């Protein structure tokens, strides 16, 4: 064979587009109380506090009049959008048609932004008011932070198991989950929905989930019928539906992900906040759900334009239904 046969070598390229690693859309939307069709510069989610029935002690007494406490939480909308363009000359010079892949990529980005709003509501301050007028409630201007009683610090392990220690900074432990479940149960914030499904959720990152998987209680069939090590994952434990996301905040205030490229940060983060919460502890309001448009742009030589948008907001509805668990990262233990 000729020694110059190499000039006839060819290169073949795939006709498919591979999406690189990323969180594929929202993981928390189904774990909160969501309401759609909102209009206005802000929305108020009204709440009613518990009342007590009174005992009847006499005959022919006046009918009772028990004033039901009202208050509300304010939700302010945030707008998100995404857009990219495919020039017609570029499409003629490639094997692939990236339009569908661009659209999927956009939808995934919008879902992650939705999770960021929900996590921000878990961690941040809520805004609300009480009805202090006979005709209308006051403006929702008061800031409500998550109280210290609903926070489990990194060094707190009130219910140590499996030889866990009670001092020093600790990662996510079974004892911390017992503590979180106790805080929720003590305020009757751990009820089930009408179908008997659990409404409790635990949001963790991969580092904390990895440490939880090392517990003999998690891996024991006596404690966990899921048999976590068989599947290599953990989706339920102690009544919590476990959701893993790398977007939970760190104790330094720096998010696990930074920038538009969604590249995980390395180093500089020592502890993260995990959250145990009830579905009704967080509200998500949608002014406009995710909307997609794929069309030609006459102002750009009729190039194909992919556009996504949404408008939404989130708030913490009840502090009693949310527990923040500060956890030392396993890599730095």
Residue from 74, 48, 24 nearest 313 by CA: 74
Domains and CATH numbers, the chain: 24-39+70-131+138-333 (3.90.1690)
Q: Taking the model in full, what pTM does it have?
A: 0.83
The segments of the chain whose pLDDT lies below 50 read 133-137, 229, 256-268, 332-333
Looking at residue 201, its pLDDT comes to 95
Looking at residue 238, its pLDDT comes to 86
Other C-beta atoms closer than 10 Å to the C-beta of 40 total 8
**Could you read off the pLDDT of 116-175 as tens digits, one per residue?**
999 999 999 999 876 554 444 455 568 999 999 999 988 777 777 766 665 567 888 888
């Amino acid at each position: 064979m000729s020694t110059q046969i190499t000039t006839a070598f060819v290169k073949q390229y795939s006709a498919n587009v591979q999406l690189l690693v990323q969180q594929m859309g929202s993981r928390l939307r189904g774990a909160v109380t969501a309401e759609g069709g909102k209009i206005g510069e802000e929305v108020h989610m009204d709440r009613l506090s518990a009342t007590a029935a009174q005992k009847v002690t006499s005959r022919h007494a006046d009918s009772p009049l028990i004033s039901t406490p009202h208050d509300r939480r304010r939700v302010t909308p945030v707008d998100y959008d995404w857009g990219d363009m495919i020039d017609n000359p570029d499409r003629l010079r490639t094997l692939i048609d990236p339009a569908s892949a661009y659209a999927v990529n956009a939808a995934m980005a919008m879902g992650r932004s939705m999770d960021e709003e929900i996590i921000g509501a878990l961690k941040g301050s809520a805004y609300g008011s009480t009805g202090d007028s006979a005709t209308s409630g006051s403006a929702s201007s008061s800031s409500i932070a998550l109280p210290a009683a609903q926070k489990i610090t990194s060094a707190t392990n009130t219910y140590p198991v499996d030889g866990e220690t009670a001092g020093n900074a600790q990662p996510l432990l079974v004892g911390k989950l017992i503590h979180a479940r106790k805080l929720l149960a003590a305020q009757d914030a751990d009820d089930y929905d009408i179908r008997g499904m659990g409404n409790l959720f635990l949001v963790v990152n991969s580092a904390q989930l990895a440490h939880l998987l090392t517990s003999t209680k998690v891996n024991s069939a006596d404690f966990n019928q899921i048999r976590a090590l068989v599947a290599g994952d953990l989706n339920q434990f102690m009544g919590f539906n476990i959701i893993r996301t790398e977007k939970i905040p760190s104790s330094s205030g720096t998010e696990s992900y930074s920038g538009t490229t969604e590249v995980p940060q390395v180093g500089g983060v020592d502890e993260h906040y995990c959250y145990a919460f009830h579905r009704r502890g967080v509200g998500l309001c949608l002014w406009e759900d995710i909307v997609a448009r794929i069309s030609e742009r006459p102002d750009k030589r009729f190039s194909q334009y992919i556009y996504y948008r949404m408008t939404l907001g989130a708030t913490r509805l009840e502090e009693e239904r949310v527990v923040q668990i500060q956890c030392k990262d396993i890599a730095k233990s």
